[in-house]
Amino acid sequence: MPARPKPKPAPAPEVLARLRAAFPGADCSLDHADAFQLLVSTILSAQCTDARVNAVTPALFRRLPTPAAMAAAGPELEELIRSTGFFNAKARSLRGACRAIVEEHGGTVPRTMEALNALPGVGRKTANVVLGNAFGSPDGVVVDTHVGRLARRLGWSGATDPEKVERDLNALLPHAEWVFAGHALILHGRRTCTSRAPRCSGCLLEEICPKVGVAPAAKPGAGRRAAPEARTPDAARAGRRR
């Protein structure tokens, strides 16, 4: 059987223009006053909604306002962040990261990918959130589950590993668009290009998106009800995460 032709990737400039028109104010949805608060909020946002994190952090930062205070916190820390889930692991990450900030960086959140990525519990995604939104100098596009899924469906990356997806996006998109692209793709992924039931009909990218890995029934004009996306690679991954 002849090999299937490779789908044409969605044109990045046009995708960004449409996303900018749809989400002109796309911005970080984690409330923060500085890099320390954003780092903490991003660690807490793992497997948790931003709204829940934003509900927890005012009291957290009132009680433990500095890296030194958080590094030395007792069980109160676990209590303050309990409702964000996985609170024992998150408390470990927060204490470890804050201790390293105090001992190795004079109590100030470092401004480089290398130093941020070396903090306990801080991966490239979290580091890029802080670098891009608190310091205005991202080292790459923030790749979470939404951005990874969108990158594959748009034909921008064939990778599943977030760091490989990030490399593909960094090569494809202009540096000046990295922060916006992360925010806008997350919003579009949450609202329209969802994991299980992408709403291709009516999607603002419909006619320029190759819809890689999207089940034919989820594409417009397929003539039958959208089948569960469980047969697509993305849905299979989502199923494994549950």
**Binding status of residue 18 toward ligand SF4 by CB under 6 A:** no
31, 34, 50, 125: the catalytic one is 125
Site for ligand SF4 in 173-192 (CB under 6 A): 192
Dihedral pair phi/psi, residue 213, rounded to 5°: 80, 0
Query: Least distance in Å: CB of 215 to ligand SF4?
Result: 10
Residue with tokens 């190759």: 210
- Region for 161 from its dihedrals, namely left if φ exceeds 0, alpha if ψ lies in -120 to 50, beta otherwise: beta
Q: How many CA atoms lie within 13 A of 122 on its CB side?
A: 30
User: Which residues, in sequence order, are CB contacts of 49 under 8 Å at separation 6+?
Assistant: none
Query: Least distance in Å: CB of 225 to ligand SF4?
Result: 16
**Binding status of residue 151 toward ligand SF4 by CB under 6 A:** no
In contact, 172 and 115? CB cutoff 8 Å: no
**Binding status of residue 211 toward ligand SF4 by CB under 6 A:** yes
**Binding status of residue 205 toward ligand SF4 by CB under 6 A:** yes
Write each residue from 91 to 130 as x if it is in contact with ligand SF4 (CB under 6 A), else as -, in one continuous string. ----------------------------------------
- Answer for which of 200, 215, 226, 235 binds ligand SF4 (CB under 6 A) is 200
Our answer to whether residue 90 is catalytic in this structure is no
Number of residues that bind ligand SF4 (CB under 6 A): 12
Q: What distance in Å separates the CA atoms of residue 70 and residue 57, rounded to the nearest whole number?
A: 13
CA dist list (Å): 70 to 123, 129, 133, 149, 195: 19, 20, 22, 34, 36
Helix (H) or strand (E) holding 70: helix 67-71
Task: Decide whether 140 or 189 has the Cβ nearer to ligand SF4.
Answer: 189
- The catalytic residue positions are 125, 144
Q: What residues make contact with ligand SF4 under the rule CB under 6 A?
A: 153, 192-193, 198-200, 203, 205-206, 209, 211, 214
